[in-house]
Structure 1
Amino acid sequence: MKVLQINSVCGVGSTGRIATDIHHILINQGHDSFIAYGRGFPINCDSTIRIGTNFDNYAHVALTRIYDKHGFGSRNATIEFLRKVEVLNPDVIHLHNIHGYYINIEMLFDYLKKSNKPVIWTLHDCWAFTGHCSHFESISCDKWKTGCSNCPQKNVYPTSLIVDNSKNNYMSKKDIFTGVRDLTIVTPSRWLSALVQESFLGEYPVEVIHNGINLDVFKPTESMFRKKHNLFNKFLILGVANNWNTKKGFAYFKELSKLLEKDEVIVLVGLSEKQKKELPKNIIGITRTNDIQELAEIYSAADVFLNPTMEDNFPTTNIEALACGTPVITFDTGGSPEIINNKCGIVVEKKGINNLKRAIETVYEKRKSSYFDFCIQRSNQLYSKFDRFNDYVNIYNNIV
């Protein structure tokens, strides 16, 4: 079996690593696997196809910034890529993020409809069925159900600085993305699956495959982290993000710091140098790290992992914390609460700082040790990347 995956990046970021993890499972099982990507450099994969050039990316960005036509640039890059696909002749085409300034969605789906090849499409966000944005929960927008227009998030990724083309984008996507003969949608969360079924993509079958992680790395790990930061006898509240902003709940940590007891401290990983300089004294800031061993050490050192995200699909950070034996507190947003149960964490109502504080107090009183075994058990049962990404291979085998 020959599988072609298509994603904006290869081997970096959450979606890029998912693609390469699936790639290695396929290779180990004796299949042929290729990854086509649109930006940056490929990592951890030796059979890749670059779609377009940096210049093509910049031109697509310009088209988006001015005319709000994200996904409708990169024509020449897509023509050249589809010629390579014809030669490669894969048995299965697996789409991931097809936004990201690198491919023309109209030309891609025209090819998919004509080729009649089995298609898997993993949605990592909501961009496929909106007229502009990739997430809308934080502003409680439901225009995507009937038709987008006058987009309240025009200046949010994929940012348009001038034109609001959300109405035309919505209608075009509806026409482009529907009508593929053999397409199966996969979502990491039940939450996103439910949204897909309400959208114009509801004509397709939807499977839920949770994200998985490397449990050989993310596990209870001893370290010198507490000694290094002089955190002995401190109750450590941890937050981790690739990019801290309002939607990730950065402001809640600042507000929470005013309510902490003397033996409580917050550690935030993934901050910019500018953000670190603005922190109060009881928040320790750490810049972004790609060292997953270091991350496992920090997760393990924490007493509780706090994720006050305002919108998310199925945050991997929750899973990583659980695998290291650390209970999770999260807002009831997106697919985030699906990751835990009441034995390994607490789900609280969105936008409630007092609810967060009470949940932290609950974990403080019960102690991490009362959650530890349940966290490990749940991560082992549900979130091994080898199990979850092998689920994709099973789908490939069933549709070929």
Structure 2
Amino acid sequence: MKTLLQINPVLRVSTSTGRIMQEIGELALQNGWRSYIAYGKGRDGIKTCKSETIPVGSLCSTLWHGVETRLFDRHGLASTHATREFVKEIDRIHPDIIHIHNIHGYFLNYRVLFDYLSRSGIPVVWTVHDCWLYTGHCYYYSYAGCDKWQTGCGGCPQQRDFPASFIVDRSRRNFEDKKAAFTSMPKNKLVIVPVSEWIRSEMSKSFLGGYNFRVIHNGINTDVFKICNENDVIEKYGLKGKHILLGVASIWSREKGFDDFVQLSRMLNDDETIVLVGIKNEERKKLPNNIIGISRTENVNQLAELYSVADAFINPTWQDNYPTVNLEAISCGTPVITYRTGGSVEAVTDSTGYVVEQGNVRGLLDAARAVRQRGKDNYRASCRQYALQHFKKEERYADYFSLYDELMKT
């Protein structure tokens, strides 16, 4: 029986990486594999998981990892004992494939882990959800306009951004430590899986550029995110007679375009309104009257209804890899209007939306009005068809299993 081990700090299906990991594990079980999932015990509690779980560390080790991060910029270099114990578990289960999602998250020491992996002979698939693994500190650098990761980092302009360090800037040393650890892997035992063409292009300029890359886009549940009857949400949120511009994020920030939405609201006509999902109470106080802030939907079906009722989905993100929200909107028949940012453009075609230059808030509104003038009905079917052809999670997960089989033959 083949054995799969996946690694990620969080297990919760309310997070994109947790959901992807659990669903891959479920598919492994359906195909007769044994499935294990390792996660940060101090950051996540087990609710439901069909795979066998391996908790790594404890609340104390997670908190101490946070201290080393905040004071000394040593994210990924604490949790030494927890990682050594985890390595013993890897030896015990002896997986045929190790699939890493994220290792930043206050639970693993990457030097200890990769010292083991580089000698183990076990094939490793590493899905790249952000840029942390090849920078000296940050997990995205687009908003800061920084390219120091190409030459060695140092003098980090985002030292106080996640994973924030308030005293020491260790970015140059972190860069060298990551380079030494990650490039210790034999090239025939590591396949890096960027989830967008953009991040693949970026990584080709990094110290990992000599490794094998295989782009596998994220998928979604197209049976849930589908064209829905919108009457309930229209009544619930008082949207009758309004042209709706929708934005969705798990966490809103300037990088996600929160300030851009506020600026956009000043340009709207009386019959136009913005609906933002994922708004916290303190953010709600900053919203003008023509922005409706929703903390979160009651369930995923209600979110699909909001996607369906919107005239356009607006994603003014300034740094992103391959945002799932774009896929969800398109799958619900709604065109996406986004900035020319990272991998955010990769799901947008002439039939599924518009791309405008970063910071062009007026361009967002012009594109939304162009959709309205042409008519939402002219986009709905083509968006849904494109989603079924490209976004089905079952097909994207099957791509991983094809890669697993390929690696096990080498």
Question: TM-score band, normalised by the shorter chain?
Answer: over 0.9
Q: What residue number does 1:357 align with?
A: 365
Q: Is 2:379 aligned against 1:371?
A: yes
Mapped partners of 2:356, 2:336: distance in 1? 11
Letter in 1 for 2:347: I
Q: Deviations over 1:155-211 (max 9, x none)?
A: 000000100000100011111110312100001100001111110011210001010
Letter in 1 for 2:202: L
Q: What residue number does 1:26 align with?
A: 28
Q: What residue number does 2:206 align with?
A: 199
Q: What residue number does 2:112 align with?
A: 107
Q: Is 2:223 aligned against 1:219?
A: no
Pick from 45, 49, 73 the counterpart of residue 45 of structure 1: 49
- The 1:387–1:290 alpha-carbon spacing in structure 2 relative to 1, beyond 3 Å, is farther
Native 8 Å contact 2:245 2:310 kept in 1? yes
> Offset of 1:289 from its aligned partner?
3.8
Between stretches 353-362 and 311-320, larger displacement belongs to 353-362
Mapped partners of 1:229, 1:50: distance in 2? 41
- The 1:189–1:43 alpha-carbon spacing in structure 2 relative to 1, beyond 3 Å, is farther
- The 1:190–1:264 alpha-carbon spacing in structure 2 relative to 1, beyond 3 Å, is same
Mapped partners of 1:362, 1:301: distance in 2? 17
Alignment RMSD: 1.0
Q: Is 2:132 aligned against 1:131?
A: no
Native 8 Å contact 2:114 2:184 kept in 1? no
Q: What residue number does 2:249 align with?
A: 241
Pick from 288, 296, 299 the counterpart of residue 304 of structure 2: 296
Letter in 1 for 2:151: T
> Offset of 1:290 from its aligned partner?
6.8
> Offset of 1:277 from its aligned partner?
2.2
Native 8 Å contact 1:20 1:44 kept in 2? no
Native 8 Å contact 1:52 1:77 kept in 2? yes
> Offset of 1:272 from its aligned partner?
0.3
> Offset of 1:363 from its aligned partner?
1.1
Given the two structures, how large is their TM-score scaled by the length of structure 2? Answer: 0.96
Q: What residue number does 1:272 align with?
A: 280
Mapped partners of 2:138, 2:237: distance in 1? 40
Native 8 Å contact 1:178 1:201 kept in 2? yes
Mapped partners of 2:285, 2:262: distance in 1? 13
> Offset of 1:11 from its aligned partner?
3.2
Q: Is 2:155 aligned against 1:150?
A: yes
Q: Is 2:12 aligned against 1:8?
A: no
Native 8 Å contact 1:11 1:19 kept in 2? no
Letter in 2 for 1:96: H
Correspondence 1:297-312 to 2 at 5 A: 297-312=305-320
Mapped partners of 2:385, 2:348: distance in 1? 11
Pick from 137, 161, 164 the counterpart of residue 159 of structure 1: 164
Pick from 391, 394, 401 the counterpart of residue 386 of structure 1: 394
Mapped partners of 1:135, 1:341: distance in 2? 25
Correspondence 1:51-66 to 2 at 5 A: 51-66=56-71
Letter in 1 for 2:56: I
Mapped partners of 2:129, 2:66: distance in 1? 21
- The 1:196–1:42 alpha-carbon spacing in structure 2 relative to 1, beyond 3 Å, is farther
> Offset of 1:28 from its aligned partner?
0.8
For the residue of structure 2 that corresponds to 1:237, the secondary structure is strand
Q: Is 2:234 aligned against 1:229?
A: no
Letter in 2 for 1:2: T
Given the two structures, how large is their TM-score scaled by the length of structure 1? Answer: 0.98
Q: Deviations over 1:31-84 (max 9, x none)?
A: 111100012113442311000001111000000000001000001111111111
Native 8 Å contact 1:7 1:16 kept in 2? yes
Letter in 2 for 1:253: F
Unaligned runs of 5+ residues in structure 1 are none
Native 8 Å contact 1:244 1:270 kept in 2? yes
Mapped partners of 1:21, 1:330: distance in 2? 28
Native 8 Å contact 1:4 1:33 kept in 2? yes
Mapped partners of 1:354, 1:278: distance in 2? 21
Unaligned runs of 5+ residues in structure 2 are none
Mapped partners of 2:302, 2:239: distance in 1? 17
> Offset of 1:348 from its aligned partner?
0.4
Letter in 2 for 1:292: V
Mapped partners of 2:204, 2:377: distance in 1? 40
